[in-house]
Structure 1
Amino acid sequence: MRGRKATSLAAVLLMIAAVFTVNVATAGPAAADACYTWTRSLSSGANGGDVAELQKRIAGWVSYGENLTIDGEFGPATTAALSRFQAGYGLTADGVAGPQTYNKLYELQSDDCTPLHFSHSETSQNCGAYNYEGGAVSAATARENALRVMWQLEALRHKLGGWPLNLSDGFRSYSCNSSEGGASDSNHLYGSAADIIGSPSLCTIAQAARYAGFEQILGPGYPGHYDHIHVANQGSQWWSAPSCGI
């Protein structure tokens, strides 16, 4: 009898341990990440720097013509963008950032916080200088602006079925911008612009960019943009790619 009771008790303890282990694994936060680690779930009404970090990464998941403000306030626009991000990657689209959302973001970002398919070496070409210096804002600000653009491009790439988006230009210093014949107030000077070349067709890129949070979209039909799509964040909407119906 003692042997049977001991065996039964051991089995029960093992079952309890197994259940506890599963609960800890599923209820706890997502694993830590070399770039940035969220330590709490976020939903409507939350605020803080962790909300701003989330907003930066889902800025390309807005609806037509929208631009997500990176303000650290989890409002309706952030909830909607997060829900689209979740749906786009096959997650539960509940508008709540928890372990499933964070683990997907960790999969998508490199140790320096750039998204999987884009890098600072692409956006900081700066006429061969490969830095963010000499523009209209500090190098740190230009770098942050470029990072947001890269996350929007990551969203755009995913929405286009994973087609490669090659960048021909990103941040420019004043001297670089002058040598490139850029406008004196070009968004390239702020690190908030990128020029896209390659496949799919330029018009397909331009049309899809309207759903990726870009306020400025210039392409075929607009002077000097026959061979690339220019996208940027600038505070107001300006789209012009007449050959693409934009």
Structure 2
Amino acid sequence: MPFSCPLCHSPLQRRESAFICPQRHQFDLAKEGYVNLLPVQHKRSRDPGDSAEMMQARRAFLDAGHYQPLRDAIGVLLQARLPEQADAILDIGCGEGYYTQAFAAIGRHHGAKTFGLDVSKAAIRAAAKRYPLVMFCVASSHRLPFEDKSIDALVRIYAPCKAEELARVIKPGGVVITAAPGPRHLLELKGLIYDDVKLHAENAGTIEGFKVVETRALAYEMSLTGQEAVALLQMTPFAWRAKPEVWEILAATERFRCQTDFSIHCLQRED
């Protein structure tokens, strides 16, 4: 496996139920099958990332299929761009694994192992329980615990990551597939929260060290129950701005219509 030690950056080797580096730093596998590669000195808080409650809300929303068109669109790009023989796919900011397990199905046809990475221990624990064919790890997307030039394809749905880290882990000619909000994404939901609703800025998808080889726009309307609308709000970064009455309005709504707008880019590493 292409894991590297988050402490000394040496290669990690699997030894029964742990990963160990030549400097004898050891990272044990949890009973669910994931490994925690986020040292305490790299944490910004005691329990970073989404809480168990936020993770469960996102899982319920995603399991209902509202973002399946996004997953399918990324899957088409991944299938087209992944080499016939590949080693590794990495999904950063993978959450509870909804997207990751679909990418793993594609990867298996190319001989690739799929990895999922998230800073939230609650999300990774849930993902590992549900999708045992994926190797999940708790880690920071700003310090990817992978060896140089070890990843054939990396998927980044909303997740932040330093350009130099992407360039470091991606193989020459490898690809990064990103998804970000388009200008009108969740406009109706934002309208309940902000007096002055601003459109998202256009996303050119550029990353230093990579060239954009394909761009796709994806937009469609969702029809949500009140419970699903509440779960969607919990998934968004502007949930913290929502007043109590906004949550009450959504929960009492029989049908909430809200548009999606995604900007998808496929980039290839320049050498």
TM-score (norm 2): 0.25
Bigger radius of gyration: 1
Q: Identify, as 1 or 2, the structure richer in helix.
A: 1
Instruction: Point out the structure with the larger strand share.
Output: 2
Give the TM-score taking structure 1 as reference length.
0.27
